[in-house]
Amino acid sequence: MFVSKNLDINQKGNLTIGGVDTLELAKKYSTPLYVMDEELIRENCRLFKSSIEKYYNGNGLVCYASKAFSCKQIYRIAKDEGIGVDVVSIGELYTAMQVEFPADKICYHGNNKTAEEITLALNYGVEKIIADNITELELINNIALDLGVTAKVLLRLTPGIDAHTHDFIATGKIDSKFGMAIELGDAMEGIKKALELKNIKLMGVHCHIGSQIFDITPFEHAADVMLEFIARVKNELGYEIEILNLGGGFGIKYTQSDDPKAYDEYMGRVSEVVKKKSDKLNLKLPFIIIEPGRSIVGPAGITLYTIGNVKDIKNIRKYISVDGGMTDNIRYALYESEYDFVIANKASLPKVDTVTVAGRCCESGDLLGKDVKLQSAEAGDILAVCATGAYNYSMSNNYNRVRTPAVVMVSNKGSYIAVKGQTLEDLVRNDI
């Protein structure tokens, strides 16, 4: 009935998340409010972790892509579950460092890393820096030389795969700002360069073909192309690459019509390709890294809002305005992303209305959904937007000097604040 399995309805007819009444959460912490289900996050971490055991004999690592949702508590959870993380900026790395996240389980990404970032990553001992291009490889080498260390590096490659997702989140095609294209020969040039540079130790190759992908075939295809490339490197340069990082991108259910495959099916099918292909090409089975972001935290989150004005423009459209919008969820404005909406205090009633959910910014495009099905809405109702655990809080912003909401986690011990909501003082803190 709901898009995420942690959502339900209690005897009062209210929406619950992880068994906790969302009305009580809204009352206790006020709205807008991000709510994340710690138990479901942990369950998802374990699911991916156990699939590495099952399909690769434990010869691999799950690195949660923390761009999906980054704060100290998520790094604590990942650390506790024994998985790694992918970070993509000095801010994410710094946050992970605050909880003493193990450096050997961090993948450091980015298509244009700064010297400051590379220095911090090397000083902290990050063991998997993913170099995007040759300029960056040289910069990493120079900084490593200055610091008197050897940088362990993977190269980001573009395998030339069209993953059938939104153009803004498709990254595997040749026409991409990320990585070195295999087809154009850039990837081989990058490998040669990495092998030549004295303070670089080439550990592996990486690809990430895009995000919110339902079809397993492009993932299989990517694994196939990457292994072919690893074999070419072995044959032409006599160097056998040890790590194959296949990125993230597994789709989740946002709406009733979304039909993602079980993660286990994805892992099973891709591992078959990896094993068969390695065998055929006479390669050692590589150490596998996967970087799920959305699929770990997305289904675990919801956002709660209070409905304000309901504006019915006769024969045109009905708008309901909420006390948040593109500042806490910019995904509709960016990608016209679809969500499932529920009035939390009317969760057991049928969705009889069609409404457009508007935020409170000075932008007509500040919508959370257009012409969506919803229970009959009145001012004061609590609106829940489902499956907002990924790329909502992490993409929040202060446009119109709107404060970002708190993140509350629910667990079997009750609820607690993981990130405080911004205060007015926070907004002016850096102003002179």
Cβ closer to ligand LLP: 134 or 169? 169
Is 218 one of the binding residues for ligand LLP (CB under 6 A)? Answer: no
- Binding segment for ligand LLP (CB under 6 A), chosen from 2-10, 64-72, 89-97, 188-196, is 64-72
- Binding segment for ligand LLP (CB under 6 A), chosen from 94-102, 111-119, 186-194, 204-212, is 204-212
* Least Cβ distance, residue 205 to ligand LLP (angstroms): 13
* Least Cβ distance, residue 32 to ligand LLP (angstroms): 18
Give the residue ranges of DSSP H helices in 324-374.
331-335
Cβ closer to ligand LLP: 12 or 177? 177
Whether 302 contacts 22, CB under 8 Å:
yes
Is 301 one of the binding residues for ligand LLP (CB under 6 A)? Answer: no
Is 295 one of the binding residues for ligand LLP (CB under 6 A)? Answer: yes
* Two tokens, residue 284: 């050692």
User: Using CB under 6 A, which of 73, 211, 303, 411 touches ligand LLP?
Assistant: 211
* Least Cβ distance, residue 196 to ligand LLP (angstroms): 25
DSSP state of 308: E
Is 84 one of the binding residues for ligand LLP (CB under 6 A)? Answer: no
* Two tokens, residue 404: 């970002």
Neighbours of 60 (CB within 10 A): 26
Q: Distances from the Cα of 72 to the Cαs of 201, 229, 296, 387, in angstroms?
A: 30, 37, 16, 21
Question: C-alpha angle with apex 248: 243 to 254, nearest 5 degrees?
Answer: 165
Question: C-alpha angle with apex 250: 134 to 181, nearest 5 degrees?
Answer: 25
Cβ closer to ligand LLP: 65 or 377? 65
User: Using CB under 6 A, which of 75, 229, 339, 391 touches ligand LLP?
Assistant: 391
Nearest partner of 48 among 62, 37, 38, judged by Cα: 62
Q: How many Å apart are CA 245 and CA 242, to the nearest integer? A: 10
* Least Cβ distance, residue 282 to ligand LLP (angstroms): 29
E-state strands within 138-215: 151-158, 180-181, 200-206
Instruction: Please confirm, yes or no, whether 362 is among the known catalytic residues.
Output: yes
Is 68 one of the binding residues for ligand LLP (CB under 6 A)? Answer: yes
* Least Cβ distance, residue 178 to ligand LLP (angstroms): 7
User: Using CB under 6 A, which of 193, 277, 331, 346 touches ligand LLP?
Assistant: 331
* Least Cβ distance, residue 129 to ligand LLP (angstroms): 13
In this structure, are strands 382-386 and 341-343 parallel, antiparallel, or unpaired? antiparallel
Q: Distances from the Cα of 430 to the Cαs of 91, 110, 425, 426, 427, in angstroms?
A: 17, 26, 9, 8, 8
Q: How many Å apart are CA 221 and CA 160, to the nearest integer? A: 10
Residues in 3-62 that interact with ligand LLP by CB under 6 A: none
Q: How many Å apart are CA 96 and CA 85, to the nearest integer? A: 9
* Least Cβ distance, residue 110 to ligand LLP (angstroms): 9
Is 86 one of the binding residues for ligand LLP (CB under 6 A)? Answer: yes
User: Using CB under 6 A, which of 120, 134, 145, 169 touches ligand LLP?
Assistant: 169
Beta carbons within 8 Å of 228's beta carbon, 6+ residues apart = 277, 281
Is 293 one of the binding residues for ligand LLP (CB under 6 A)? Answer: yes
* First CA to last CA distance, the chain: 51
**How many chain residues bind ligand LLP (CB under 6 A)?**
20
Per annotation, catalytic residue among 207, 361, 362, 386: 362
Beta carbons within 8 Å of 91's beta carbon, 6+ residues apart = 70
Q: Which residue's entry shows tokens 């850096």?
A: 430
Is 159 one of the binding residues for ligand LLP (CB under 6 A)? Answer: no
Is 292 one of the binding residues for ligand LLP (CB under 6 A)? Answer: yes
- Binding segment for ligand LLP (CB under 6 A), chosen from 4-12, 137-145, 245-253, 317-325, is 245-253
Q: Which residues pair with 213 in a beta bridge?
A: 250
Cβ closer to ligand LLP: 136 or 291? 291
Q: Active-site residues: which are they?
A: 362
Residues of the shown chain interacting with ligand LLP in the complex, contacts defined by CB under 6 A: 65, 67-68, 86, 109, 169, 208, 211-212, 247-250, 291-295, 331, 391
